Amino acid sequence: MKQKIAIIGAGSWGTALAVSLSGKGHEVSIWDLDDGLLRELDADRENRRYLPGVPFGDGMKASFSLNEALYGADIALFTVPSQHFRGALESAVRLIGSETPIVNAAKGIEQKSLRTLSQIAAETAPGSRYAVISGPSHAEEVGRALPTTVVAASEDNELAEYVQTVFMTGRLRVYTNSDVRGVELGGALKNIIALGAGISDGMGFGDNAKAAMMTRGINEMARLGERLGGRRETFFGLSGIGDLIVTCTSEHSRNRRCGVMIGEGVSPDEATRRVGMVVEGMYTTEAAWQLARRTGVEMPITDQIYRVITGQASARDAVTALMTRQRRHETEDLLI
């Protein structure tokens, strides 16, 4: 089933998905606001800036206008950073029909509005068919066709299964889920914990500390996610704990790399600059901190990471605050 797919956003993730989809025989057009980047893609037939060493397939091309990319598209796939999703969707929605599926592969929460990306889609393109792709999926591995498993979530089961069919290959396995809110929040909130895991590594702490960070972190994610409308069990699947594991442990993780530098004493702003690409966890931490206060959800790890990245506490003070909290029962949330 050959499909025409327009990808909005030519970063590493958009490029990796474009390579995977075109390798399956789909016709793929990729567009970005950065005309210079598009010219490089067109000339080099690879994204040397963000995903070097991954050549483009014959069915993939760079489009120099959004209208050209979206014309006749069967799917509009958004891979822009979460803080730019609203603007990109506003530009695209005028060029596509209401029946054209909007598939989002970004992971984050809009900082100003505290909206998830599906909420933004409901506001910007009411009545649209919306799905999200998430899970443990570094672009560096998907682009090279290393085995990866993700989840496609939509409230429309038929759409979720359509996305599953279009994206699934022998090396990219796709499951379906109807919990859009939970899948989105899992993909966003795990970046906060990955920052913390990186800070822990940067400070020279060991595997014990990182394991504790990840285990208690998934509980924080589930608490807030459930309060915001997600299903608790979703956070113990691919888009929750699966994505958490890979983002907290992989050398490919921008959030972990940023955290490592902060743990080594680099300022948060300078660490973000050195990463050279968007560090979604820096935005999501502030958004989640505000949502936790608004909803009354206790998130001690998020609270301390927020204090570190906003300059209110040193990384060492944050660790001390976490380790000396009031004694608790491990399964207290479940008991309550």
Query: How crowded is residue 81: how many other Cβ atoms within 10 Å of its Cβ?
Result: 18
Find the farthest-apart pair of alpha carbons in the chain and give their distance in angstroms, rounded: 60
**Per-residue pLDDT at 327 exceeds 80:** no
Is the pLDDT reported for residue 218 higher than 70?
A: yes
Tell me what percent of the residues of the chain surpass a pLDDT of 70: 98
178, 209, 238 - which closes a domain: 178
Instruction: Kindly state whether residues 135 and 218 are assigned to the same domain.
Output: no
| Least confident among 60-64, 208-212, 267-271, 328-332 | 328-332
Residue 151 shares a structural domain with residue 242: no
**Which candidate, 48, 6, 51, places its Cα nearest to that of 30?**
6
pLDDT at 317: 87
- Give me 248's structure tokens: 């907290």
Q: How many CA atoms lie within 13 A of 213 on its CB side?
A: 31
DSSP helix, strand, coil percent of the chain (3-state; round to 5): 55, 15, 35
**Residues 256, 317 within the same domain:** yes
Annotated active-site residue in 24, 61, 107, 190: 190
If asked whether residues 69 and 210 sit together in one domain, one would say no
The stretches of the chain forming alpha helices (DSSP H) are 12-23, 35-44, 66-70, 85-93, 117-124, 139-142, 157-167, 180-202, 207-227, 243-249, 254-263, 268-275, 280-295, 300-309, 315-323, 332-335
Cα-Cα-Cα-Cα torsion 306, 311, 312, 314, nearest 10 degrees, comes to 90
Q: pLDDT at residue 331 above 90?
A: no
Q: Structural domain of residue 13, as residue ranges?
A: 4-178
CA distance 254 to 244: 13
Domain identity same for 270 and 312 = yes
In this structure, are residues 12 and 140 in contact, taking their beta carbons and an 8 Å threshold? yes
pLDDT digit string, tens, across residues 69-97:
999 999 999 999 999 999 999 999 999 98
Span 309-315, average pLDDT: 92
From 316, 289, 311, 323, select the one nearest 202 (Cα to Cα). Answer: 316
Instruction: Indicate the residue among 154, 178, 202 that finishes a domain.
Output: 178
Rounded Cα gap, residues 118 and 67, in angstroms: 23
Both 160 and 216 in one domain: the answer is: no
Domain shared by 9 and 129, yes or no: yes
Task: Return the pLDDT at 320.
Answer: 84
What value does the mean pLDDT take over residues 27-40? 97
140 and 258 both lie in a single domain: no
Average pLDDT of 258-278? 95
Q: Give the helix ranges, DSSP H, for 125-179.
A: 139-142, 157-167
Residues 187 and 174 in one domain: no
Does position 334 have pLDDT exceeding 60, yes or no? no
CA angle 96, 29, 279 (to 5 degrees): 90
Do the Cβ atoms of 319 and 201 come closer than 8 Å?
no
Contact 254, 279 (CB under 8 A): yes
Quote the number of domains for the chain.
2
Q: Residue 45, CB half-sphere, CA atoms under 13 Å: how many? A: 7
What are the tens digits of pLDDT across the range 171-210? 999 999 999 999 999 999 999 999 999 999 999 998 999 9
pLDDT, one tens digit per residue, over 109-138 is 999 999 999 999 999 999 999 999 999 999
With tokens 């038929």, the residue in question is 158
Q: Tokens 């996610």 correspond to what residue?
A: 225
Residues 326 and 193 occupy one common structural domain:
yes
Q: Do 95 and 188 fall into the same domain?
A: no
**pLDDT for position 333:** 59
2 is catalytic: no
- Identify whether the C-beta of residue 289 lies closer than 8 Å to the C-beta of residue 306: yes
- Which pLDDT belongs to residue 97? 86
Domain finish residue from 155, 178, 201:
178
CATH number at residue 170: 3.40.50.720
In angstroms and rounded to an integer, the radius of gyration of the C-alpha atoms of the chain is 19
pLDDT score for 336: 42
* CA 276/CA 226 separation, integer angstroms: 33
Looking at the predicted structure, is the pLDDT value of residue 150 above 60? yes
- The proportion of the chain whose per-residue pLDDT surpasses 90, expressed as a percent, equals 91
Residue 48 phi/psi, 5-degree rounding, is -65, -20
pLDDT of the residue at 335:
42
Q: Are 186 and 174 in a shared domain?
A: no
